[in-house]
Amino acid sequence: MKFSELDLDPKVLQAVEEAGYETPTPIQAQAIPEALEGRDVLGIAQTGTGKTASFTLPMITVLAQGRARARMPRSLILCPTRELAAQVAENFEIYGKHHKLSMALLIGGVSFKDQDKLIDRGVDVLIATPGRLLDHFERGKLMLTGVQIMVVDEADRMLDMGFIPDIERIFKLTPFTRQTLFFSATMPPEITRLTQEFLSNPVRVEVAKPATTAETVAQHVCKFKPTRKDVADTEKRAVLRALLRSEGDELRNAIIFCNRKRDVGIVYKSLEKHGFNAAALHGDLDQSVRMATLNGFRDGTVQILVASDVAARGLDIPNVSHVFNFDVPIHSDDYVHRIGRTGRAGRSGKAFMICLPHEQKHLDKIVELVGKDIPEISVPDGAVDEVRERPRSRSKDAPAERKSEPKQEVEAETSKSEPRRERAERGERGGRGRSRKGEGRGGRDRQDKGEPVVGLGDHVPAFLLRPAFPKKAARSKASEVSAETESEAPAESDKSSADEAA
C-alpha cells in the first residue's frame, strides 16, 4: 500500500512525497482511513512506528475546509512534554505547507503575550501541554467549545507525569460531539479507564502488543559489581565510557538515560572531561537551552545526549544509532520507550544497559514485561582499572585517630580539673548525676552563687545576669513591699489615737 491509496488530500500527498515518504507504516495504514471517516481511534503501537503522522495527515485533510474563529481552535493536540509538542508542530509545518492552516504552540517557557496574540487571531490547530493550556483557559483567553478533533499523544506518558486529572478536565471542556484520536505505546489500567469514559465506540488499532520492543533493536545488558560501595558510581561511569569506546565507528550518536536529573549532570560532566562530545537534557533547563540542545543533536554538532526520561517519549530523531541505560529504569515501561529512540523507521540500532546488583529486581520486571531474555555481555577489559588503581584519599584508620585524640585530651583535662562526681552534682551537660529538677542548666546555679559561667570567658552577656524567673521575682518583691506597708500602718494608727487622747 502507498499513501496515494489512503484518500488523503492531494496537497497532503504532495507534501508527504516531498518529505521522502512513499509507503505508510502499519499503524498509519490502519488508523488514517478510520480517522478520515470521523471515527474515534485508539492507536496502540510501539514507539518509532509513525504515530504522529497517523493523526497529523488526516487532521490536515479534514481541516482543509473551514475557518477558525478567534480564541476558539478547531482542533487540539495534547502532548506530555514541550519537546514532543514542538516536534508535532514541526510535522504540521512539513505536511501542511501547501495549506493555509494556522497553528499555535502553547508550551511553558514562552511568553503568554505572544501566545495570546496567536489565539486571538484564531487557530485551526492548537498544540499544547496540559498545564499551559489550562493556564490560558483560566485566564479567559481560550475557549474549547469549538474543538472538532482532539488528539491525545503519548497517553501513558501523561499518566507517568501526573497529567490524567488535567486530561479529564480538558475532555469535559470540549464538546461531546468531537472526534477523539488516542495514541499510546502501552495501555495501563488507568489509560484503559480513560478511553472507556471519553471515547465513543473507538476503533482499536493495535499493530504490536503493548510494551513490546522493536525487532530492529539489538539489546544487551552489562551486569557489573563494584569493588567498594564508595566508588560504585565512579566505576559505573568508567564502564559506560568503556562501552562507548568499544563500539568504535559504529557509534554515530547516542542517548544516555539516567533515572535522576542529578546524575544527568554528573555523567555529562564526566564524559566531557574525558573528551566526549556530550550535552545534557533534563526538565530543569530553560526551554531555549533544551531546544538548542536537541537541534544540536539532530544536526550532528552534539554526538552524545545525556538525558532524563524527558527525552524518552515521542521525540523523533531517526538516526540515533545507540541507546545506553546508565540506570536500569525503575518503571519497566520506560525501558520500552527509552530503547525506542533507536531502530526507528526500520533502521537498526543497539541498546545497552548497565545493571548493578541492587538493580537486578528492576531488570527482572523488564524481562517479564518484554517477554524475552536480554543477552548479557561482559564488562570491557580494563574498564575500571584506572579507578581501582587510584589511591584512597585517606585511610580508614586516620579518621578514627583524629577523632580519638581530641576526646582523650578533653577527658584528661576534665579529670585534672575536677572529679566526675563533683561535675555531676553541679549538673553539667553530659554528667550522669544531673539533677532531675534542672539545676545547673544554663549555668543558673553558678550565676546565683556568683561563679563565672563556663564557656563565655571573662565576659558574661547581660541577659544571663537577669533573674531566671523575672515574673516570680517581681511578685515576691511586690509581696515584700506590701508586707512592709502593712506593718507600718498600725504604728501610724496607734500614734494618731495617742494624739487624740492627749
One domain for residues 41 and 182: yes
Output the pLDDT for position 445: 54
Are 272 and 125 within one domain? no
User: Does residue 132 share a domain with residue 66?
Assistant: yes
Tell me how far apart the alpha carbons of residues 175 and 196 are, in angstroms, rounded to a whole number. Answer: 17
| pLDDT given for residue 93 in this prediction | 93
> Which domain does 473 fall in, by range?
440-484
**Hey, what long-range contacts does 426-434 have (CB within 8 A, 24 or more apart)?**
428/454
268, part of any domain? yes
Whether 384 and 474 map to the same domain: the answer is: no
Structure confidence at residue 301 (pLDDT)? 93
Side chain identity at residue 380, one-letter code: P
Task: Supply the pLDDT for residue 435.
Answer: 43
492 occurs within a structural domain: no
Asked whether residue 407 falls in the same domain as residue 458, the answer is: no
CA-based end-to-end distance of the chain? 140
Instruction: Write down the pTM of the prediction.
Output: 0.63
Nearest-angstrom CA–CA distance, 102 and 104: 7
Q: Is residue 446 part of a domain?
A: yes
Task: List the chain pLDDT tens, one digit each, 502 residues.
Answer: 889 899 999 999 999 999 888 899 889 999 999 999 999 999 987 766 788 899 999 999 999 988 888 899 999 999 988 888 988 999 999 999 999 899 999 998 888 999 999 999 899 999 999 999 999 999 999 999 999 999 999 888 888 788 999 999 999 999 999 999 999 877 888 899 999 999 999 999 988 666 667 788 999 999 999 988 888 999 999 999 999 999 999 999 999 999 988 899 999 999 999 999 999 988 788 878 888 888 899 888 999 999 988 765 656 677 899 999 999 998 888 898 888 888 876 788 999 999 999 999 999 999 998 888 999 999 888 777 766 655 554 444 444 444 444 444 444 444 444 455 454 445 444 444 444 444 444 455 555 555 655 665 677 778 777 777 766 656 666 666 555 555 554 444 454 444 444 4
> How far apart, in Å, are the Cα atoms of 5 and each of 21, 203, 206, 358?
13, 20, 21, 53
